[in-house]
Copies of this chain bind each other. A is one copy, B any other.
Amino acid sequence: MWLELAAIFFAGVSGALAAVRKNFDIFSVLLLAWVTGLGGGLLRDVLIGAVPPVGITSWKYVTAALLAGALVHLFHVRLDRLRRAIIVFDAGALAMFVVIGVHKGLEYGVGPLAAVFVGMLTGIGGGLVRDLLVDEAPIVLRDRELYAIPATAGAVLAAWVGEMGHLNYVTGGLICLAIFGFRLVSLRLRWQA
């Protein structure tokens, strides 16, 4: 739970920073923090029929995303120095969103293939919508950093473990760590697809 809020918060930070770079006002910064932090889960919930989605009903989730937006608005000059830290947290958010998404999909009985899709969508959906709203080709498409590959591999692994009935805090956490580690290593070594 705390980890999920942290994932939403850090995804929200990346959305808010994109808004700040475009010189948007405070409201738009908050909106982009919300969309980036909760947009992936929103798409997931609509696709699996879990409406109204937690992204608009949960006070905790909404607060985590908006808090990210407010802090970025206030302190974004200093955040520039934290660029490396943010990339690390962003990788962590991706990893957790994917595993959480797969788990929720399986819980709603959508089958393993759909669970993989909603897991990936939870992970990359927020960033996709962020990039559409700031009128840029989505980073996940444009960028040759290995962003989507760990997300896909992690989602497939989580769906497979989940189908066998073994997706729990331990196995889910391990898959998270694997996605996270792969992403960091690929950034470090500047791997490209």
Contact = CB atoms under 8 A, between A and B. Distances in A.
Interface in A100-143: 105, 108, 110-111, 113-114, 117-118, 128, 132-138, 140-142
Contacts of A136: 135
A148 interface: yes
Nearest to A192: B25
B135 A134 contact: no
Interface in A66-112: 105, 108, 110-111
Interface stretch (A4-12, A49-57, A167-175): A49-57
Contact of A110 (B46, B49, B57): B57
A187 interface: no
A149 B49 CA distance: 31
A182 interface: no
A184 interface: no
From A24, A28, A52, residue with most partner B Cβ within 10 Å = A52
Contacts of A140: 28, 31
A42 B108 CA distance: 18
Contact of A57 (B19, B111, B128, B132): B111
Given A25-B193, A52-B114, A135 B133 contact: no
Nearest to A151: B27
A132 B35 CA distance: 15
Given A24-B142, A141-B28, A113 B62 contact: yes
Q: Which 3 A-B pairs have the closest CB atoms?
A: A49-B51, A56-B117, A135-B137
Given A27-B148, A31-B148, A52-B110, 11 more contacts: A25-B193, A27-B152, A28-B142, A28-B148, A46-B47, A46-B51, A47-B51, A47-B53, A49-B49, A56-B113, A57-B114
